[in-house]
Structure 1
Amino acid sequence: MLTVNLTEAKARLSALLDAVAAGEEVVITRRGRSVARLIRESDSDAESGDWVARLRRFHAHQPGPAGSAIELLRELRDQVP
């Protein structure tokens, strides 16, 4: 990963894009804080398909509460002093 400040990024944009095309990740900073990340287009979500499908896949892998909503509410109610 290559980190450059905004001034350097402006001056070297063409070279930075060449590095990104070669697979390098570039982080651009402003006043020492990261403000942007350049990655190769094929590595981004733009080519990974429909965002709704990606969201569903992500959600499917997240742990859900054990039991029904009623059981969860009863358990939470029983914990209240």
Structure 2
Amino acid sequence: MSTYSVLDARNNLSRLIADAQSGLEVVITNRGVPVAQITSVASVDAPLTGAALAEWIEAHPLPARLVRSAAEIDAQIAEAREGWE
């Protein structure tokens, strides 16, 4: 696994991509906290659809701090749209 800070990731994107292409798991941290992961998609033969997509989502749940209800998402969208005017 390769770990980069946000600043290092921004300055070394080509290296991160090369690491991911070589099979390494690349993790980007913000102040030491993992916030993103880059992985190779070369092994994916086709996009996930239907049951395969549902299975993937169940196997990779969001962290509890990111889970929101549909009502919360709708409220955030409405708030953002109000700011457009």
- State the Cα RMSD in Å: 2.8
Q: Distance in 1 between matches of 2:32 and 2:13?
A: 19
Q: Distance in 2 between matches of 1:11 and 1:57?
A: 32
Residues 23-74 of structure 1 deviation map (CA, whole Å, 9 limit, x = unaligned) = 1110000011111000001356x84521x21226988xxxxxxxxxxxxxxx
Q: Distance in 1 between matches of 2:6 and 2:18?
A: 17
* Counterpart for residue 8 of structure 2: 8
Gaps of 5+ in 2: 59-85
Q: TM-score, normalised by structure 2?
A: 0.55
Gaps of 5+ in 1: 60-81
Q: Relative to 1, partners in 2 of residues 1:37 and 1:43: Cα closer, same or farther, differing over 3 Å?
A: farther
Q: Percent identity over the alignment?
A: 30
Structure 1 ranges of 4+ moved more than 3 A? 56-59
Bigger radius of gyration among the two: 1
